[in-house]
Structure formats: C-alpha cells, structure tokens
Amino acid sequence: MKFHFYKICSFFVLSISVCYAISIPPNKSIPATFVFGDSIVDTGNNNGLKTIAKVNYPPYGKDFMGGIPTGRFSNGKVPSDFLVEELGIKELLPAFLDPTLQAEDLITGVNFASGGAGYDPLTSELAKVISLDGQVILFKEYIVKLTELVGEDRKNEILANSLYMLVTGANDITNTYFGMPLRKSYYDVPSYADLLVNFASSFVQDLYSLGARRIGLFGIPPIGCLPSQRTLKGGEARQCVDNLNQAAQLFNSKLEAYSSSQGNKLPNSRLVYVDTYNVLLDVIDNPQRYGFKISDKGCCGTGKIEIAELCTYTCSSDSDYIFWDSFHLTEKAYRLLVHQILVQHLNGFF
C-alpha cells in the first residue's frame, strides 16, 4: 500500500531537531482544519468581545511573529496553529472573527474557539464568551461564505474531508463545577461528567449534520496540576490536586466510551477520542526528559496564580517552562504535545 507523507518536526532536549513522517492513506486528503473550544486553542475570537477572557495585549504573544499579541493565550503559537502547520496546510489557523481574515483562508480552515468557553453553556455565559452553540452558528456562517467562494460541490468535498477538533472541558470542571456552588448543588462529579458528555454529543450531531465527518474530541488535561490549581488547592507544598485530576479522568473515560460507541452510528464518519491527559502528565512529571526545567509554575508573574491582565512581567527564559501562565502552556510545550497527538491519533481519522 502506498502512503502520502507529511514531514513534521519537533524540538527536544539539547535543541536536537527530530523529524518524523506522518502517513496519510492513498486517495485521502486533509484540505482544511476547523477548531472549536476554549482558550487552549483560541487564536483571537475573543478580541472583540466584552469579556475579561481575552489576551490581545503584552506580554502575550511576545514570541509570536513580530512579538505581536493576537489574542492567543500563550507566548506564541497555540495548538490550532501547530495542527495546520505540521499537516502542511498553512502556518497559522486564523480566528473566524479576525477582521483581517482573507478569503483564501476560508478554503483551508479557520478557528471558532473562544477562550473561557466550555461544554456547559453556563461556563460560557459566566465568562461572557462564545458558547459551543454560538460556535456552531459561526460555522454555519462560514459555510455560507465558503459556498459563495468555491461552489456547492467543492464546499461539500472540503467539509467531508477536513479535520474538526473540539478542545474544551477544563473550564467546566475548574470554574463552573468546583469554583461555584450552582452545579454542585444539583450534580455529583459522575453526573456532571455525564452532562458534559451529553453536550459533547449534541455538538457532534450538529457538526455531522452540517457535513463534518472527521471529528476529534480532546480529553481534559491533568487540570489538578495547573499552577493556579496547585496554588489554590494544593496545600503549602503546591501538590497536584487529586480530586480535580480524578474528575478529569472520569470525564475522559466517559468521553472516550461515547466516541467509541457513537462513531459506529454516524455513517461514513470517524469520531476520535484524543488523549491529552497522559501525554501532558508525563511531561509535567518528567520535565527534563522533554527539555524543560520548571513544571509547577508559569513564566509570567510569580507563575503561581497570574493569568491574563495579572501577567504584567515574565521570566527570563520561557523555553525552560512548560506553562506560560498559571493555566496555559508555552509555545514550546504546545508544539511538543501537538506532535505527540498527531503521531498517536492521526491515522484514526481515516
């Protein structure tokens, strides 16, 4: 069997460049990538919103092209960018709401994610950001524009063969469930996880009805090991917070089970669960193995609690850090994780 190869590179210890070939089956293609979710993947959709969940100001973006803050919640590129870069589609995945968005970018994919969003509509409402339902509405607007640009047949071909990635859930557990009493008074952790999976299911059904066929659902990372959660709930030693990690793992197991069962019920579709929990936890537990020095603090501010406007100063060497602020990773860490994810999961979409 012949394969098409996309060359992707990652940078590991001692700045050694290691390149791998990702194989894509013959007669298959990935014309575009579409990303939905929260601040892990938002590339600037929140910039025009009246919300505190936006970072279109320094020091965010200090290592981005020209040191320009674009609304990405990191010092540079975020996973959305690395997905399209490593697949050879384009260098960056622009925000759909970017006022400078070019028509040609519509053909190869755009980003609908909104920092602060979650599966739970209450999560997005509290943060005053774009909910998953709102992101689907934007996707419908995108389809109209794409059809005007390339015609009905080409539009259908692009939608059916592209990758769709949903990256969210951390805000639901850290902020909406454990951060306030409303949901906890009605749900225990297992039933809240079920509620989130139900929202995920509705989202998948919406995307499928609009023509999506290759859909990736990202699991929640080890949120108990985020610097902010260590500081708030990890005691004097700032340990990883077990109940947060256990909640993430429980949700992930339910999301994975849903992906396995539902994928067989959607004709001609590939529904893939993407494990981010174990990949990131290994990096946090073994930072030096991956070329990092500090795994329990972020680069900005004290590294223990700062995020967004609280990030008024930064460390001297962000390449030593896994975390950029107390919630989000550095560009270097995101590059590594996306590479690992593509190696492990890309073939599942075919």
Q: Which residues are catalytic?
A: 39, 325, 328
Cβ atoms within 10 A of the Cβ of 329, count? 26
What are the start-end ranges of the E strands in 162-292?
163-167, 214-218, 270-274
Residue 218 contacts residue 196 (beta carbons within 8 Å): no
Termini Cα distance of the chain: 14
- In whole angstroms, give the CA distance from residue 350 to residue 348: 6
Which amino acid makes up residue 322? I
- The type of residue at 90 is K
Task: Phi first, then psi: give them for residue 146, nearest 5 degrees.
Answer: -65, -40
Task: Quote the tokens at residue 214.
Answer: 């290759």
> Of 333, 328, 321, which Cα lies nearest the Cα of 293?
321
Whose CA is closest to 37, among 274, 330, 244, 249?
A: 274
Q: In sequence order, which residues have a C-beta less than 8 Å from that of residue 309 and are 6 or more positions away?
A: 52, 57
Q: Rounded CA gap, 261 and 130, in Å?
A: 29
328 DSSP assignment: S
Provide CB contacts within 8 A for 61, sequence distance 6+. 55, 67, 68, 69, 70, 72, 74, 75, 76
In angstroms, the CA 141 to CA 298 distance is: 37
Cβ atoms of 172 and 199 within 8 Å: the answer is: no
Task: Report the half-sphere exposure of 106 (CA within 13 A, side-chain side).
Answer: 21
Q: d(Cα 128, Cα 52) in Å, to the nearest integer?
A: 8
